[in-house]
């Protein structure tokens, strides 16, 4: 008789956004006349840039002709894309990363869920709290954690690093030994960023202890403040302790197109084994590459026209962020994030839980956000709004919230 993976039974409820979807569905069914504005899930709303669309049409054309048709892609991604990534996201920033240290994939969600596979099950993970749920859940499913403890709202054998206003949403380096440390900056969900000096401390710590940092840089395109690192490889020594995840979803609007990449420097070794070789093996055995046409779309993001359009796209969303930030501040809310990140993190009014505020906002303003407690116990009392809506909807949402 087959036994199922019993680790799945440790998982709590369904995925956060499924629950939100259900609540919103019930509300709209009950109030079909009301227009609901969704600033919950971090999905983009602007169409793909012209340079990307042109590249897609061209690549589709190639796939229809015998001479230019392409079958299986190279395991780790086409060179044209890996070269463009290397040149623009690393060398231009003074980071010594080479194209063959870049693994192209179908997105940072897959990579952030799958990367734990190359590590032993007896490692201890450390995560920020609040946190993007995939880091924790993928480790729970693999069996790298204990059971969920309802009293503390946490899984046993996971090191949670509280992030709140008391520490500007930058965690303290944990005292307990953490083998795999997940960091995400600009942060989802808090919208906080980390300075280079502070990040350097984590790199030094990881190198001293033999830990590995999984650095999720999915939102780096939203950084405008000078001096804030776009990549962990801007820190000295990061190549011997850090893996970096990137996404095309949030800078170029690829949430529905699916493209991302992971960087594993060749000198990153543990137990005398190259993590690069393990991930290459994982990719080669269990994955067959991102679609050729989508990799061409990714390449177009780095063209002069593409870059210009991406900047406009990011500006568009950051104008939303500024409007939300300003409006809520004036209305007396305590808000953070939203300057170098597309997320605004606000304190819910005293006496309310995050889910209370979710219901309150949906009922009274018809606005959907994300309850902070969905991201972890220390997210309780907070609420996330995203800047990814249309500008018109964002303005209307803020007006509705502030006049509640």
> DSSP string spanning 25-68?
HHHHHH-TTSPPEE-SS----SPPPHHHHHHHHHHHHHHTSTTT
Among the listed residues 22, 31, 35, 57, the single contact to a copy of itself using CB under 8 A: 57
C-alpha span between 337 and 223 (Å, rounded): 11
* 32 interacts with a copy of itself by CB under 8 A: no
Strand segments (E) across 269-351: 269-270, 273-274, 335-337, 343-347
* 404 interacts with a copy of itself by CB under 8 A: no
- Binding to a copy of itself (CB under 8 A): which residues in 121-180? 121-123, 133-134, 137-138, 141, 143, 179-180
* 13 interacts with a copy of itself by CB under 8 A: no
Among the listed residues 95, 97, 103, 119, the single contact to a copy of itself using CB under 8 A: 119
Q: How many chain residues are in contact with a copy of itself, going by CB under 8 A?
A: 83
Among the listed residues 32, 64, 304, 351, the single contact to a copy of itself using CB under 8 A: 64
C-alpha span between 286 and 4 (Å, rounded): 20
Based on CB atoms, which residue is closest to a copy of itself, 55 or 194? 55
Phi, psi dihedrals of residue 196, rounded to the nearest 5°:
-65, -40
* 70 interacts with a copy of itself by CB under 8 A: yes
- The side-by-side arrangement of strands in the sheet containing 212-216 is 102-105, 260-263, 242-247, 212-216, 180-184, 125-129, 158-162
Based on CB atoms, which residue is closest to a copy of itself, 223 or 313? 313
Contact of 44 with 250, CB cutoff 8 Å: yes
C-alpha span between 251 and 268 (Å, rounded): 28
* Total residues belonging to the chain: 404
Choose the binding region for a copy of itself from 39-47, 317-325, 331-339, 394-402 (rule: CB under 8 A): 39-47
Choose the binding region for a copy of itself from 49-57, 192-200, 341-349, 361-369 (rule: CB under 8 A): 49-57
Q: How far is the CB of 352 from a copy of itself (least distance, A)?
A: 28
* 106 interacts with a copy of itself by CB under 8 A: yes
* 47 interacts with a copy of itself by CB under 8 A: yes
Q: How far is the CB of 66 from a copy of itself (least distance, A)?
A: 5
* 56 interacts with a copy of itself by CB under 8 A: yes
Chain-centroid distance, C-alpha 5: 27
Name the nearest CA neighbour of 230 among 271, 260, 186, 288.
Answer: 186
Q: How far is the CB of 48 from a copy of itself (least distance, A)?
A: 5
- Is the Cα dihedral 186, 257, 15, 402 positive or negative? positive
- Binding to a copy of itself (CB under 8 A): which residues in 72-91? 72-73
- Binding to a copy of itself (CB under 8 A): which residues in 264-323? 270-271, 273, 275, 278, 281-282, 284-294
Q: Which helix (H) or strand (E) holds 125?
A: strand 125-129
Among the listed residues 22, 34, 35, 50, the single contact to a copy of itself using CB under 8 A: 50
- Binding to a copy of itself (CB under 8 A): which residues in 204-243? 209-212
Please give the structure tokens belonging to residue 263: 């960087």
Choose the binding region for a copy of itself from 221-229, 253-261, 316-324, 349-357 (rule: CB under 8 A): 253-261
Q: How far is the CB of 179 from a copy of itself (least distance, A)?
A: 5
Angle at 305 between CA 303 and CA 309, to 5 degrees: 115
Based on CB atoms, which residue is closest to a copy of itself, 335 or 385? 385
Among the listed residues 37, 39, 44, 76, the single contact to a copy of itself using CB under 8 A: 44
C-alpha span between 177 and 199 (Å, rounded): 18
C-alpha span between 93 and 233 (Å, rounded): 9
Q: How far is the CB of 285 from a copy of itself (least distance, A)?
A: 5
């Amino acid at each position: 008789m087959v036994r199922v993976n019993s680790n799945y039974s440790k998982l709590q409820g369904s995925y956060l956004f499924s629950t939100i979807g259900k609540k919103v569905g019930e509300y709209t069914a009950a109030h079909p006349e009301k227009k609901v504005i969704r600033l919950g899930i971090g999905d983009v709303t602007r169409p793909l840039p012209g340079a990307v669309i042109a590249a897609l049409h061209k690549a589709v054309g190639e796939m229809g002709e015998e001479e230019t048709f392409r079958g299986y892609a190279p395991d780790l991604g086409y060179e044209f894309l890996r070269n463009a990534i290397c040149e623009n996201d690393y060398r231009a920033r003074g980071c010594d990363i080479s194209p063959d240290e870049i693994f192209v994939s179908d997105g940072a969600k897959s990579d952030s869920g799958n990367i734990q596979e190359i590590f032993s099950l007896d490692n201890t993970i450390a995560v920020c709290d609040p946190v993007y749920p995939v880091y924790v859940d993928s480790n729970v499913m693999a069996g790298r954690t204990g059971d969920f403890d309802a009293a503390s709202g946490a899984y046993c054998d996971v090191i949670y690093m509280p992030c709140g206003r008391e520490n500007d949403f930058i965690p303290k380096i944990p005292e307990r030994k953490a083998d795999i440390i997940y960091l995400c900056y600009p942060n989802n969900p808090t919208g906080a960023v980390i300075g280079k000096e502070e990040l350097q401390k984590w790199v030094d710590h990881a190198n001293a202890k033999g830990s590995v940092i999984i650095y999720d840089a999915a939102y780096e395109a939203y950084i405008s403040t000078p001096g804030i690192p776009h990549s962990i490889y801007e820190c000295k020594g990061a190549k011997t302790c850090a893996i970096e995840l990137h996404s095309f979803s949030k800078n170029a609007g690829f949430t529905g197109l699916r493209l991302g990449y992971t960087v594993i420097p060749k000198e990153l070794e543990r137990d005398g084994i190259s993590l690069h070789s393990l991930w290459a093996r994982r990719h080669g055995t269990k994955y067959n590459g991102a679609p050729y046409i989508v990799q061409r779309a990714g390449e177009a993001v780095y063209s002069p026209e593409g870059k210009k359009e991406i900047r406009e796209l990011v500006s568009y969303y950051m104008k939303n962020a500024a409007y939300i930030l300003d409006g809520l501040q004036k209305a007396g809310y305590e808000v953070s994030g939203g300057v170098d990140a597309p997320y605004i993190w606000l304190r819910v009014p005293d006496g309310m839980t995050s889910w209370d505020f979710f219901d309150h906002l949906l009922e009274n303003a018809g606005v959907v956000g994300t309850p902070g407690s969905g991201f972890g116990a220390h997210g309780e009392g907070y609420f996330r709004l995203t800047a990814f809506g249309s500008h018109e909807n964002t303005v209307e949402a803020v007006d509705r919230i502030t006049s509640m």
